């Protein structure tokens, strides 16, 4: 498995994504049922708590290990949750 780019991803000094092993593994399964694990981000770009959100239901469980957000740097923290 290649580098999964886990951590807090920044572009132009703003948070664009948070990727953790838990989210990468569980979200494809949860999306099949119409749910996803998300990370709250405040208006000033500070990461908050993890939560479950309702999302569009996926037709199948598909794993995509790549990150599709453009980013400048990764802060490797909160890798599990």
Residue 64 inside a domain? The answer is no
Helices (H), strands (E): how many in the chain? Answer: 1, 5
Q: How confident is the model over 6-54, as pLDDT tens digits?
A: 888 888 888 888 888 888 899 999 999 999 999 888 888 788 888 999 9
Strands 7-11 and 73-75: antiparallel
Domain residues for 13?
9-55
Number of domains the chain is built from: 1
Which residue bears the tokens 């953790």? 20
Residue 22 inside a domain? The answer is yes
Residue 70 inside a domain? The answer is no
Check residue 79 and give its pLDDT: 60
Go through 8-47 and write b for each residue having 16 or more CB atoms within 10 A of its CB, e for each that does not: bbbeeeebbbbbbeebbeebbebbeeebbbbbebeeeeee
Check residue 8 and give its pLDDT: 87
Residue 1 inside a domain? The answer is no
Residue 71 inside a domain? The answer is no
Residue 63 inside a domain? The answer is no
Strand partners, 53: 36
Residue 78 inside a domain? The answer is no
């Amino acid at each position: 498995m290649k580098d999964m780019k886990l951590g807090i991803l920044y572009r132009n000094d703003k948070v664009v994504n948070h990727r953790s092993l838990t989210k990468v593994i569980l979200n494809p399964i949860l999306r099949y049922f119409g749910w996803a694990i998300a990370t709250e981000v405040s208006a000033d770009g500070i990461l908050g708590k993890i939560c479950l959100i309702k999302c569009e239901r996926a037709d199948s469980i598909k794993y995509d290990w790549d990150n599709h957000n453009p980013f400048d740097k990764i802060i490797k923290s909160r890798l599990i949750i």
